[in-house]
Structures are given as C-alpha cells and as structure tokens.
Amino acid sequence: MANIYITDIAVVKPADLGPTPWRVQGLRAITIVFGKNGSGKSRFLRAWRDQNPDWTHYIVPERTGNIEYQPNLLQQQMEGSQRSGQGQRNFLNNYREQIVTRVQVYFAARGNVRVDQLPGDPADLEARLSTLLPDFAIALSGTKNPPYAVQRASDSTAVQNIDHLSSGEAQVLTVGLDILTVAAIWDIEGRKNRLMLIDEPDAHIHPDLQVRFADFLVGVAEKYKLQVAIATHSTTLLAAVGQFSGEEAGILYLDRVKEECHIEPFDKYKKEMAACLGGHALMGPLFGVPLLLVEGDDDYRIWSQVPRHHKVSFATIPANGDEIDQFQKNLEKLFEALRENAPGPAGYALLDGDKAVPTANVDRPQKHIKFVGLGCHEAENLYLTDEVLALTCGKTWTEASAAIKERAPEFGDKADRLSEVESWDRRTVDLKGFMVELMAILDPKNVHWTIRVARTIGEKRPTGQLAEFLGESLVTALWGSVPA
C-alpha cells in the first residue's frame, strides 16, 4: 500500500492544551491515534485537516440524521473546502443527509455510466459496501431519487429510512459511504494527495462489525491510494487494522502535554499484544465463550463473522502462519494462571489441513488451548462445498464445474488450471491464486468468498460436505457433540 503523502507534521494545539504544537514524526499509510478522553484527538485531527483542506477529508465522531437525499445540500458537497467546513465541531446533525446527497455529486463528477475503464467505478463502490454490510444489497444510481437503494439480502425488504437499521448498521453504512464517495471523487479528479481523517468510527459499532470495518478501510485505502488517520479508543479496531495492514500501520499515542510524538510501527509484537487486547476476546473464556485462534487474514475474515448469526459463540484471535504456535504457547501460560479447575479447553488453535496437529505433551501442553485441524486443505476449499455453492449461486458441483470450465479461457495464464476443474479433488486442491476468478465465475453478485463461507457456516450447525471439510474435531469443539 505505502500511500504516504505526509511523514512529519506540526499541528497547533488549542490554547487550553498548551502553547507548543504537536510535532509528529513517522506518519504511516494508516496511523491509529490513541489517547485518553481530553487528550485532544478530535481537535488534533481537525487542526491537521485545516492545514490542507482541499485534499483532506475529516469525518466527525458524532454522526446523526436520516438516510435521505436533500438537493439543497448539493452545493455544500461540491468542493472539498466546503465539505471540510461541515466538520468544524465534534458533531453534525444532518451528517447522513450530507453523505447520501454526496452520492449525486459523485455521479455528477463521473457520469452515470458503468464501465470499469473510468476511475471510481460504481460497481466497485457497491461491492465494497456489500462486503462491509453483507446482510444488505446496495445499489447506487445517478438517475434516481434517492440516488441509492438498500435491501435486506434475506427477504429483499427495502430500507426506506434510519428506523429500518440498527444504530451500528446505520453508522457503518453512512461512514462507509462517506469514505467511498470522497475517495472515488478524488480518484476521478486525479488528486495527487489524498488524506482521510476518521474520528472514532467505532462509535456504536459492535466489535465484530469493527473487524469488518477495518478490513473494508484497509482495502479502500489501498485501492484509492489514501493515507488514513483514525482516532479511536477501541482495542478491537486497533487489533483489526494492525492485522489487515500489518507494518503499513502505526500507533500515535497522543498526549496533551507532550510536544514531540513519534509513530510506533505496528510490528509483530504489537500485533500479538493487540490481538490479545482485541475487545472481548480474552474475556470470553472467563464467561464460557471459547477462543478460536486462526492463521491468516482470510481465516480471520471467516471466523470472526460466524458468531454474528447467533447460532454459535466464540471469540476469534488472528495469527499469521507459524506465529500461531507461539500464540498458543503464550495463551496456554496465561490461562494456566487465570483458570482454576478448568473442565475443558478455553479455546482452540485451528490449523490448515495440510499441517500436522501437534500432540499434547509436557513440553507442549494443550490443557487450555487445544490444537484442531481443518478437514480440508485450506479455508479456500470450503467455498466449493455443496452447501456454500448452494448459497452462492444455487448450483450443484457438476453445474459449477461446467461453468468454470466454460469460462476458463477468459483468465489468461490461469486458464489451463481452471479448465482442469473436473479433475479437482475439492477437499485437497490448492485454490490459492484462483479465488478472484472463481468468485467472478460462480457468484453473480461477486461477494467476497469469505463472506459466503462465513454465512453458510454461521446459519446453522454445519452438516453434510461442509461438516466433512471443516472436520469432526472442529465442529464438535465449537458446536458440541451431536444431540442424541
């Protein structure tokens, strides 16, 4: 990613916070601003915004209003400096109306055409919003009033106003639309510098949605070449941003007294610490909710969303590759000190099916965190199970493989491997490097494959081929034994 337009800044403090400016060095592509209440995070972001209002966008922390289009707000959304003027305080009473109205400004800048050769493709915006809120289908239009349509994916019920959404859904939808429309307008205009300052995006958002928002934000920043700063109190959001952006992220511990502030890179040690502090994760086992330690971003995307369907409860902690072994050891030691007379494991460390599950012994205890193995090669293989295919495209494997073979010639150097689909063993085939093509072929809405897998796993206790690919040990660990 590495979209860094500013590395060092001096920001004038408000008079009540002291006479010297904040001097910040080593800004990252994504900087997470941490600090106590009263440390000046919001005023720091606004003062930073005021240095370059034409290419900086600030999102206020208190966001209210209804999701409706108001033509009288069009002029205020036309220019960056006028948009900046809307965020002079911590709150904006008609924030949501401003954002919905900006959709029309976006179409005025781009034209109401759907071709991906032009920057700011509306299909990309819709896909990213649907990934952020997979329970909804979201469509944008430059010719309709309002210039959007939102439907619940489960029953196609239209969302007409704010009362049809939870507070968290409303926040995520409008903040996501705010970020995307400004990013797309900048892309259409060819802005050289693009700085996005987001003040407490986690407000009113459940930790699971914060994880999805972090994934969304990192993807948008990479696609639209944004440098981002986020003010937050949430360790969940901190952990998730660090997980998805890695060392592209840094932490700024803001102090109202200190003048010199240095960004601390989000290295693997901070990632481990943040994962353990990530919202409610470590509290889960103390209240009977198990942990699930997973390796890799895609596994994290899947398993962090499964509990949202309210059929099973666990808290997910991400690790990367071989780090899962060290995480397991550290958590084993931690819970040995915290848990007494434990009746069973506090959680599980999930390994891909191509790895051997370690045997518990004195040197490698698994009293509190037990290793379990996936029943298939990797998480990608779950996408081709009968149950996930039924949800994704309503096809059997015979129909899906025929579709893959038919369209294989479209995909260049991957065509030969895709054309061999009929010989694949769905359980063991290595699908890394082919998921984008499989989504394009199999999913008419091109929803990210991890969301399809998470929903299928989460809707009910896995059965059939999905249960086989997950593996009996994993299904039993999380859902318990099959009732007699």
pLDDT at 192: 93
Tell me which residue has tokens 């996005």: 196
**What are φ and ψ of residue 438, in 5° steps?**
-65, -40
pLDDT at 286: 45
pLDDT at 417: 96
Distance from the Cα of residue 364 to its chain's centroid: 33
pLDDT at 287: 46
Positions in the chain whose pLDDT score sits under 70: 1-2, 71-91, 268-288, 338, 483-484
Task: List, in sequence order, the alpha helices (H) in 224-296.
Answer: 235-245, 268-277
The domain limits of the chain are 8-273, 280-484
CATH number of the 8-273 domain: 3.40.50.300
Q: For residue 424, give Cα distances in angstroms to 295, 430, 477.
A: 25, 9, 29
Rounded Cα gap, residues 239 and 331, in angstroms: 17
Q: For residue 7, give Cα distances in angstroms to 93, 195, 262, 285, 401.
A: 33, 12, 11, 41, 49
Rounded Cα gap, residues 77 and 106, in angstroms: 9
Supply the angle between the helices 397-407 and 435-442 in degrees, to the nearest 10.
110
Residue 46: which of 33, 37, 29, 36 has the closest Cα?
A: 33
Tell me which residue has tokens 């896995």: 462
